Amino acid sequence: MRLPPTLAALACALGSAAMTSSAAPPANVYDAPLKGVFEKRERDWRNGAIVYQVLPDRFAPAADLDAKRHLYPAPKILRRWDETPRRGTYVESARLWSHEIEFWGGDLKSLAGRLDHVQQLGADVLYLNPIHLAYTNHKYDAFDYDAVSPEFGTRDDVKALAKNVHARGMKLVLDGVFNHMGRNAPKFKDAEANPKSPWRDWFYFGPQYQSGTRTWWLAENLPELNLENPAVREHVYAGRDSVVRRYLRDGIDGWRLDVAVDIGFEHLHGLTQAAHAEKPGSLVVGEIANYPKEWFPAVDGVMNFTLREIILRTADRRMTPALAMQMTDRMVRESGIEPMLKSWLMLDNHDTPRIATALPDETQRRLAQVLQFTLPGAPNLYYGSELGMTGGGDPEMRAPMRWDQVSDANPSYAWTKKLIALRKAQRALRVGDFRLVTSQHLLAFERHTDRARDTVIVVANPGAAPVTETVMMASSKLMNVWMMVDQLTGEKVPIVTGLLDLTLPPGRVMVLVPELSPGGGYSAYKRVQ
């Protein structure tokens, strides 16, 4: 029916108001229970945040390295920034591997000087690997949690960094290594030497242990803390002046917990409650490689190794798309969408080969990266991987940042920024629910809220041959014969009674959103949100 011009203009205005007004009533009875749910998720910075991970020693060289050389006494070595880490030899005097005590000279002040890069990339959270006083370059062997390693700076530098990060609209998360300390920690050395030491019960001693002490995974440099001892818990997280609470008072916004799976449900829950009591809305993310179900609310989120493995195995064709989607759907249903949104989804980090090395085929790598930015979770970017930096096993993946490669002419850098912009533009990718799109041979899912305009349909062909297939979208609000638009290429695909007819070449991914108003002053979405 053709409306008179004045009525057409009114209908267009009313339709636009219905699509944009946050006060609009629910579109149907099924939306009523969802009213306010997604708005609440958006107000929580932890949901769907983009996390940028930095090794302080390797991110940016200090302005005056000569002035710092005394901080790296032998057998420690200070390397040139253009040197690549290599697997070393065992140093008997230090009882460590030589590559654990080779440094590149980065610190908190030099990091602060490069925050423009992190901000302009689009990160919401800056996550630092451990900065506590310790002997090694990686600092997972803490001597004193209350002190910052002098190679990196001081507690005042942490406070200054937090203020700088906050001024840029970002959050700061530190790495908490609370399952174990370092063998040369003063508390442990006193406890080891003196059975009557006040620190004796902070650790585990006995002939049943290989080295006379319980150490993490038999690594002699990492004696485990006795978290069953109330005094240890008081120091780490339970006390008003505990490590966890004091750093939050210093301005940090959360903790990533090293080997959190070894800390266990009970102590993790206590730590998380203490963090929330100190700073409501703070984040506790656990390094838990197990299936994530039931680790909540002991932690707010996990480092989602399970979903990472599903993505990598799908991208390099070790897992079928159908099985990948079945696993992902079950994980989200059993774990809950809220914890999944707070869980960090990484493709690489300081313990794994870099993604450019793990997936050298660019098509496969880009497919995996699209999934990282569209599946439920908080994408965790490892410094330099946005540039296409390569690196295999430890310590190659911990090479110093390649600042010479930061350029829009770098295809990896431009691609990463495109994915970040896509995610920021699409509300459902940040805070939306997840459901499957029915398909036989393609990987297909939907991210959605209670508003049709937020819908994102992701369809991928990880296979080696083209796939032509009809997929069904289980969304009652996507309008028949209207178009879905691929946000990666601009290609348009018509909706046919809830179906999409697609032909995808090998490695192709489509990120489809509804075309709400293609022009002409009319929209089929005028009476749905």
The answer on pLDDT for 473 being more than 60 is yes
The answer on pLDDT for 2 being more than 80 is no
Question: Of 22-36, 45-59, 295-309, 382-396, which range is least confident?
Answer: 22-36
Segments of the chain assigned to CATH 2.60.40.1180: 5-35+433-514
Q: How far is CA 394 from the centre of its chain?
A: 20
Q: How far is CA 363 from CA 169, 460, 462, 505, 525, in A?
A: 33, 11, 9, 11, 35
Q: What pLDDT, in 10s, does the model give residues 125-165?
A: 999 999 999 999 999 999 999 999 999 999 999 999 999 99
Confidence (pTM): 0.94
Catalytic residues: 258, 287
Q: What pLDDT, in 10s, does the model give residues 239-287?
A: 999 999 999 999 999 999 999 999 999 999 999 999 999 999 999 999 9
Percentage of residues of the chain with pLDDT beyond 90: 91
- What contacts 112, CB < 8 A, 6 or more positions away? 160, 161, 164
Instruction: Please name the helix (run of DSSP H) or strand (run of DSSP E) that holds residue 126, with its range, or none.
Output: strand 125-128
For residues 75-86, average pLDDT: 95
Tokens of 377: 């979770």
Q: How far is CA 110 from the centre of its chain?
A: 23
Per-residue confidence at 11, pLDDT binned at 50, 70, 90? very low
Q: How far is CA 202 from the centre of its chain?
A: 32
* pLDDT score for 23: 55
Q: What pLDDT, in 10s, does the model give residues 40-75?
A: 999 999 999 999 999 999 999 999 999 999 999 999
Per-residue confidence at 4, pLDDT binned at 50, 70, 90? very low
Please give the DSSP secondary-structure letter assigned to residue 70: G
- What contacts 520, CB < 8 A, 6 or more positions away? none
- What contacts 30, CB < 8 A, 6 or more positions away? none
For residues 185-197, average pLDDT: 97
SS3 labels along 181-242: CCCCCHHHHHHHHCCCCCCHHHECECCCCCCCECEHHHCCCCEEECCCCHHHHHHHHHCCCC
Segments of the chain assigned to CATH 3.90.400: 180-224
Q: Does domain 5-35+433-514 have CATH number 2.60.40.1180?
A: yes
8 A C-beta contact, residue 256 and residue 288: no
Q: Phi and psi at residue 35, in whole multiples of 5°?
A: -60, 120
Q: How far is CA 278 from CA 16, 53, 271, 359, 468, in A?
A: 44, 24, 11, 42, 54
Closest CA to 223 of 261, 260, 192, 193: 192
Report the C-alpha gap between 172 and 26 in whole angstroms.
Answer: 37
Peptide bond into 395 cis (omega under 30): yes
The answer on pLDDT for 15 being more than 60 is no
* pLDDT score for 71: 97
* pLDDT score for 156: 98
Segments of the chain assigned to CATH 3.20.20.80: 51-63+105-179+227-425
Which one is predicted more confidently, 326 or 17?
A: 326
CATH for 180-224, options being 1.10.3110, 2.160.20, 3.30.70, 3.90.400: 3.90.400
CATH for 51-63+105-179+227-425, options being 3.20.20.80, 3.65.10.10, 3.20.20.70, 3.40.640.10: 3.20.20.80
Mean pLDDT of the chain: 94
Tokens of 71: 């901080």
Tokens of 236: 């780490």
* pLDDT score for 167: 98
